[in-house]
Amino acid sequence: MTKKIRISELPEFDMAEHLPDEQAIAEYLTIVIEENNPSELAHALGVVARARGMSEVAKASGITREALYKALRPDAQPRFDTINRVCAALGVKLVAQPMHS
């Protein structure tokens, strides 16, 4: 007989643990951008910043650590300048592509 696994016994999934390099980060952010949900993009940038180290990203972007946490929380709507600075600090850039090819 198989042992039943309780949901409460499962480890919590943390996407930040699965973003080892710029390529993985770019792919993750591309998927999130395609969902067309600005607050989800802010949250995803927060996940990536945690993966890289929030203090490091804050220093590289010129934004305080506290302001980053606030700007990149799940329900936030950060300014484009903030998104752009965080992306640059993470080593990725946003790219426009035609919707219909």
Mean per-residue pLDDT, 80-85: 94
> From the CB of residue 71, how many other CB atoms can be counted at a distance below 10 Å?
21
Could you read off the pLDDT of 16-30 as tens digits, one per residue? Answer: 999 999 899 999 999
CA–CA separation, 23 and 96 (whole Å): 17
pLDDT at 59 over 80: yes
Confidence of residue 101 (pLDDT cuts 50, 70, 90): low
User: Given the structure tokens 């996940």, which residue do they identify?
Assistant: 47
pLDDT at 1 over 80: no
